[in-house]
Amino acid sequence: MLFNTFEFAVFFPVVTLLYFAAPAGRRWIVLLIASAVFYMAFIPAYLLILLALIVVDYTAALLIERAKGPARRRLLLVSVASNIGMLGAFKYYNFVAMNVDGLARVMGYSPSSLPLLSWVLPIGLSFHTFQSMAYTIEVYRGRFPAEHHLGYYALYVMYYPQLVAGPIERPYNLLPQLRREQVAEPTRIASGLKLMAWGLFKKVVIADRLAFVVNAVYAQPSSANGAALTVATVFFAWQIYCDFSGYTDIAIGAAEVMGIDLMRNFRRPYLATSTRDFWARWHVSLSSWFRDYVYIPFGGSRFSRARWAIALMTTFLISGLWHGANWTFVVWGALNGAFLLIGAITAGARARIRDACGFDEVQRLRSVVQAVITFSLISITWIFFRAKSVDQGWYILTHLLSRRGESIAALGVSSPQLVISCILIAGLLTIEAFQTTDDPREYVIGQPAWVRWAVYYSVVVLTLTIGVFNRSEFIYFQF
């Protein structure tokens, strides 16, 4: 079930009413059934995969808690292997098989002829497996007690607002909240609904409108001139941000209505002044997952510079693969890792240059320039994220300044589409630039009623009049 559909507009209030109407001790049942219904709206049979993993991880955590010595580690491995195995089978098997085949051909051997599977990737698999692994790892580390109630644990994995595209929660944040008796508090409900409306606005008004332009150019990049490729690349950066952060806002808002605080996933990432800063603001629940469970265990920055570089690159390569079984995502991860690495290595030299120029004294200008440079670097990485193949990504990257090819208008993008898209991006950038926190609702807090209602109506009216309602999926659903 997509958040931007009529089905969800009916589903959400009905579930919320049932949730608050149910006795406090039985609310988990309402949410669990609702989450199952929500998940089964995609491919019903895949609920069985989810349930199987829930049973494995629930049991493993209970046993880890009781076990001593090496047995704990073995049990953790069973849990992690189950999750990774499921991911491997559904998401990476075909990728590996095709590459083994390709490699065999290149090396002059006969093709391995590994059969390809035609399974559809279960929706949200990458998200809920990571959330499950976070749970068993935390239990293993002794930072969180195993959940003894199977229903609550199942709800931790399946809680529908964040089931299919995050935020990837940690047990210490979500599980206690699911157990707590929540009260239907009007202020909180209103606050959650506002965030949901804002998320929907970003998805259907901005992201889906930018998609028209991006799709038109990326469908035929070899026909496009450099300007068209550049516009599409910049637009895609905003499209994916509005798409994913819009989804996250709806998820966080929906949970907030039910009295549950999910972790923030985006902190105005395009205001970041370095790629390192960007990764502290973008998809925070995933980047912190990689930091806690991959980067730090690999050594982080505690050892030699070489080992740190290896840990960093490994983390980003895995992060790339997490997004998709395609070399384009590996390149995307590698580029991000490389930018971070170069950023850290050149930090001292850049500081000296800034000192020499007196650039540090003009703080605001410095931040703007740094944000523009960071945005440009990140946009370059997005090219490979969006491209169908590494070759296509390379072609786009090397033709951004080319004069050859068709203009964006000749590729079927009308001027009004282009103008509206630019206005929407500029509007969002302005709103985010003047926020003092990462929460856009700050603009209406403390304002007179007429101002607040004018803002609400503006968002609703714009959504209804220029939103794109074609049931388009959220980009991150594919992961």
Nearer to other proteins, 343 or 412 (CB): 412
At residue 406, what are phi and psi to the nearest 5 degrees?
A: -85, 150
Given the rule CB under 8 A, which of 40-48, 52-60, 214-222, 395-403 is the region that contacts other proteins? 214-222
Min dist CB 423 to other proteins, Å, is 18
The correct pick among 33, 81, 409, 419 for binding other proteins (CB under 8 A) is 409
Tokens read off for 16: 């919320």
- Residues 467 and 208: beta-carbon distance below 8 Å: yes
The correct pick among 50, 154, 411, 428 for binding other proteins (CB under 8 A) is 411
* DSSP structure string for 101-154: HHHHHHTTPPP--PPPP-PPPPTTHHHHHHHHHHHHHHHHTTSSPPP--HHHHH
- Residues 78 and 85: beta-carbon distance below 8 Å: no
Binding of residue 220 to other proteins (CB under 8 A): yes
Binding of residue 470 to other proteins (CB under 8 A): yes
First to last CA, the chain: 16
Active-site annotation holder among 128, 149, 283, 323? 323
The correct pick among 93, 95, 359, 456 for binding other proteins (CB under 8 A) is 456
Tokens read off for 356: 């020499």
Count of residues interacting with other proteins (CB under 8 A): 28
Tokens read off for 90: 């559904």
The correct pick among 190, 372, 426, 454 for binding other proteins (CB under 8 A) is 190
For residue 457, give Cα distances in angstroms to 3, 216, 402, 426, 449.
20, 32, 44, 20, 12
Q: How many CA atoms lie within 13 A of 359 on its CB side?
A: 14
Secondary structure class of 224 (helix, strand, coil)? strand
Distance CA 35, CA 155 (A): 8
Binding of residue 205 to other proteins (CB under 8 A): no
Min dist CB 193 to other proteins, Å, is 8
Min dist CB 11 to other proteins, Å, is 14
Distance CA 274, CA 4 (A): 33
Nearer to other proteins, 31 or 217 (CB): 217
Nearer to other proteins, 50 or 250 (CB): 250
Which ranges in 42-124 belong to alpha helices (H)? 47-66, 70-87, 93-106
Binding of residue 412 to other proteins (CB under 8 A): yes
Binding of residue 460 to other proteins (CB under 8 A): yes
The correct pick among 48, 117, 431, 461 for binding other proteins (CB under 8 A) is 461
Comparing CA positions, the residue from 51, 40, 130, 151 lying closest to residue 83 is 130
Given the rule CB under 8 A, which of 34-42, 309-317, 391-399, 402-410 is the region that contacts other proteins? 402-410
The correct pick among 101, 277, 292, 406 for binding other proteins (CB under 8 A) is 406
Min dist CB 432 to other proteins, Å, is 25
User: Which residues, 2 to 41, sit near other proteins by CB under 8 A?
Assistant: 6, 9
Min dist CB 469 to other proteins, Å, is 4
For the window 169-188, what string marks contact with other proteins as x by the rule CB under 8 A?
A: -----------------x--
Nearer to other proteins, 190 or 431 (CB): 190
Secondary structure class of 453 (helix, strand, coil)? helix
Nearer to other proteins, 361 or 391 (CB): 391
The correct pick among 410, 419, 426, 431 for binding other proteins (CB under 8 A) is 410
Min dist CB 444 to other proteins, Å, is 13
Binding of residue 257 to other proteins (CB under 8 A): no
Distance of CA 200 to the CA centre of its chain: 16
Class of residue 66 by CB neighbours under 10 A (exposed 0-12, middle 13-18, buried 19+): exposed
Distance CA 374, CA 368 (A): 10
Given the rule CB under 8 A, which of 18-26, 281-289, 436-444, 456-464 is the region that contacts other proteins? 456-464
Nearer to other proteins, 115 or 186 (CB): 186
Catalytic-residue membership of 149: no
- Residues 207 and 276: beta-carbon distance below 8 Å: no
Distance of CA 10 to the CA centre of its chain: 25
The correct pick among 71, 117, 219, 419 for binding other proteins (CB under 8 A) is 219
For residue 255, give Cα distances in angstroms to 5, 185, 191, 198.
18, 13, 11, 15
Min dist CB 78 to other proteins, Å, is 38
Given the rule CB under 8 A, which of 69-77, 260-268, 426-434, 460-468 is the region that contacts other proteins? 460-468
Given the rule CB under 8 A, which of 74-82, 212-220, 245-253, 328-336 is the region that contacts other proteins? 212-220
Rg (CA), the chain: 23
Binding site for other proteins (CB under 8 A): 6, 9, 186, 190, 212, 215-216, 219-220, 223, 406, 409-413, 453, 456-457, 460-461, 463-467, 469-470
Q: Which residue numbers are catalytic? A: 323
